Amino acid sequence: MDYKGTRRLSVAPMLDWTDRHYRYMARQITRHTWLYTEMINAGAVIHGDPVRFLLKDECENPVALQLGGSEPADLAKAAAKAAAYGYDEINLNCGCPSPRVQKGAFGACLMNEPLLVADCLNAMQDAAPDCSITVKHRIGVDRQTDYQVVADFVGTLHERTACTTYIVHARNAWLDGLSPKENREIPPLKYDYVYRLKQEFPHLEIIINGGITTNQQISEHLQHVDGVMVGREAYHNPMLMRDWDKLFYGSDTEGISHAELVTKLQTYAAAQISTGRGTILRHMARHYLGLMHGLKGARTWRRILSDAEMLKPNNPALLAEAWEHVSKANFENER
């Protein structure tokens, strides 16, 4: 089966992390994996600087914009703007548990209002008819522990919308008493709930998310669901993605070497700085700290690229300087 063009693998939307600079790097490592923006409030897209919130590099596709919001009219306006920027997918966040998001009455608390979510999805689809409109959600809110909670949520949306793709974080969202970080770690993972969703709704695209850190785990999940979304591990250890095209998309292209990637990132950084839009090396280098994970010299790489004084001159050649330390410390030739 040809999996290219599918959401078989994806990188989760992560606030303050999956910006356009991270996504450019990720796309150099994996050609076929779906990438997601960080969550962007619909109001910011409508009223803010569209270049700041929607700009992307053409190489990023397939890429999805994740929106936060609960007003169908606002989400429709934001979706229309996103479609004009060439996003392949627009995703509605129904899973974020942060207090800031709750005050805006969106994120995970929307799971308690499936009819409103249906109105939102329909408004987004009408405004961006050529985009795939999807939803990312939890398996329940607070102490809702029964499988039927998430089954009813998906069932209601399936009946009332054209949405066919459901990205399911296999944990509850505890809206009271846990921080966003604790919400990613304390509520127990219930992968079996997501597997059951696929069994109950076999014609829907069900993607699993939450606590997935290895290629072996990805392979095991793909026996039960259509796709796997990886979050923090893809950020802190981005070269994990290097074999994804070959392992999960059937590509025969060899994975990029560290040396080649550093060269590409240096060229990219120079181009971004030269635009004069205020982008500085630090904005990009912060995403590169985990690139040498597992290699000798990784600590030196991280130290150089997080040193405020060394970053201050805004010289992309700092990447080559940092790489030189890693290259010398590793005796095996890169493939």
* Catalytic machinery residues: 96
User: Binding residue per annotation — 231?
Assistant: yes
Annotated binding residue 75: no
62 is in an annotated binding site: no
Tokens representing 40?
Answer: 């962007």
Q: Which residues contact 287 (CB under 8 A, 6 or more apart)?
A: 17, 19, 21, 22, 25, 235
CA atoms within 13 A on the CB side of 254: 7
- Is 169 annotated for ligand binding? yes
Q: Annotation-wise, does 148 bind a ligand?
A: no
How many whole angstroms separate alpha carbon 313 and alpha carbon 236? 26
Q: Write down the residue that tokens 């499936």 correspond to.
A: 114
- Annotated ligand binding at 232? The verdict is yes
**Residue 310 marked in a binding site:** no
250 annotated binding-site participant: no
- E strand segments, 69-149: 89-94, 132-137, 140-141
Burial of 259 (0-12, 13-18, 19+ CB in 10 A): middle
- Asked if 107 and 101 count as a contact pair (C-beta separation under 8 A), the reply is yes
Residue 249 φ/ψ, nearest 5 degrees: -120, 0
Residue type, 177: G
> Is 102 annotated in some ligand binding site?
no
66 in a labelled binding site:
yes
Residue 15 annotated as lining a ligand binding site: yes
Q: Which residues are annotated as a binding site?
A: 13-15, 66, 136, 169, 209-211, 231-232
Q: Which residues are annotated as a binding site for FMN?
A: 13-15, 66, 136, 169, 209-211, 231-232
